[in-house]
Amino acid sequence: MAEEKDYHGKQNYVMLLGVIAVLVIAMVGIASTMTGSSKVLAISALAAIQFYVVLNNLMHLKYEPALITLVAYLSVVFIVILIFGVAPDTLLVNLDPSGQNGLVFIEP
Amino acid sequence: MSDVTIERVPKGRLGVWLLIAGEIVIFGGFIASYILARLEYPEFGSKEAAGDLNIVVGTVNTLILLISNWTMVKAHEAALEKNVAKAKSFMIYTLVLGLLFLGIKLGYEWPTDFSHGHTISSSKAIADQAPGSEVMKVSLFWSYYFLMTGFHGLHIVVGSLVIFFVMLGISGGQNLHRVELAGAYWHLVELVWVILFPMLYLIQ
């Protein structure tokens, strides 16, 4: 009965969810006190930590077989490739505000 | 994490994780599109655009979803102990919290946004009147907001249905492993929200 196999170790879920709650409150605090790129970086970093904790600890990815770990992380890698693959086309092309000339290409 | 052959991975578990990976790619596509739009138009998603969002209500909803993840974990622990009644109780708590999240989103947040004139197509209406205008770029935020939170809400509905039917299926003490699989899907909802909440509500 492979389906009944328990892959899990013991985790302190109260502590894990407490950590995530503290990170949520910290993000809100940062949003109301900081400005500019430092605010974006700080909030993004805290969001990334939460993402990692949820994926690995709540979803038990760290206890899963290597094949499942590969499937999960591959999906994240696809998104990163998508962002960096599309970014040059998006950021180097502007819509013409006058609406007469269509796309205006910005020289790199 | 040592077993690498597909034969060693239970089919149900592999199926759920393939579904989760697909969902990550779908939400990732939305998120990537939003990030690139923000980079292209810095004013899009700014305080002027997204200032009508209620951060306090968003934070409360985030914590409700977080607690629902805890109740789902407790349901899984009860299932491992083969305590069906306890597992069912925690699954009911999860359903109630999920519906509370949806109730706040659809019953309070969205109507408030609508009352401010923001809809999923409000940017199109502005674009028809003033193509390429700054107002249109600002209003584009709300198209993303309603699309992403709506799609996320749809996943809460699906997750709730999955939990409900799994709850019915474990009555005789059978299929208890499904509680974990339903939980994995429910945690996906949290996984997506930990990105959507700061991206839409906090980074303005």
Average pLDDT of chain B, as a whole number: 87
Domains and CATH numbers, chain B: 6-202 (1.20.120.80)
**Higher pLDDT among residues A102 and B55, named by residue:** B55
B20-57 burial, b at 16+ Cβ within 10 Å, e below that, comes to bbebbbebbebbbbbbbbbebbeebbbeebbebbebee
Q: How many residues does chain A have?
A: 108
Q: How far is A24 from chain B (nearest CA, A)?
A: 8
- Does the beta-carbon distance from A43 to B55 stay under 8 Å? no
Query: DSSP string of B36-64?
Result: HHHHH-TTTTSHHHHTTS-HHHHHHHHHH
More confident residue, A83 or B108: B108
pLDDT one-digit tens code per residue, A18-45? 999 999 999 999 999 988 889 999 999 9
Element (H, E) at A104: strand A103-105
Q: Is the pLDDT of residue B48 over 80?
A: no
Tokens matching residue A67:
């094949």
Alpha carbons B45 and B23: distance in angstroms, whole number: 24
Mutate which of B17, B93, B188 to disrupt the A interface (most A C-beta within 10 Å)?
Answer: B17
Nearest CA in chain A to B34: A83
- pLDDT in tens for each of the 108 residues of chain A? 444 455 566 778 889 999 999 999 999 999 999 888 899 999 999 999 999 999 998 888 888 888 899 999 999 999 999 888 888 777 765 555 555 555 555 544
Convert B108-140 into a string of H (helix), E (strand) and C (coil).
HHHHHHHHCCCCCCHHHHHHHHCCCCHHHHHHH
Determine the Cα–Cα distance for residues B50 and B37; give it in Å rounded to an integer: 14
Domain map (residue ranges) of chain A? 1-64, 66-108
- Is the separation of the CB atoms in B202 and A27 below 8 Å? yes
Chain A segment 37-76 residues within 8 A of B by beta carbon are: 39-40, 43-44, 46-47, 50-51, 54-55, 58-60, 62-69, 71-72, 74-76
Query: Contact A65/A24 with Cβ under 8 angstroms?
Result: no
Q: Of how many residues is chain B composed?
A: 204
Q: What tokens does B108 get?
A: 């309070």
Q: How far apart are CA B2 and CA A28, in angstroms?
A: 39
- Token output for B18: 């393939």
Q: Is B171 exposed, middle or buried (0-12, 13-18, 19+ CB in 10 A)?
A: exposed
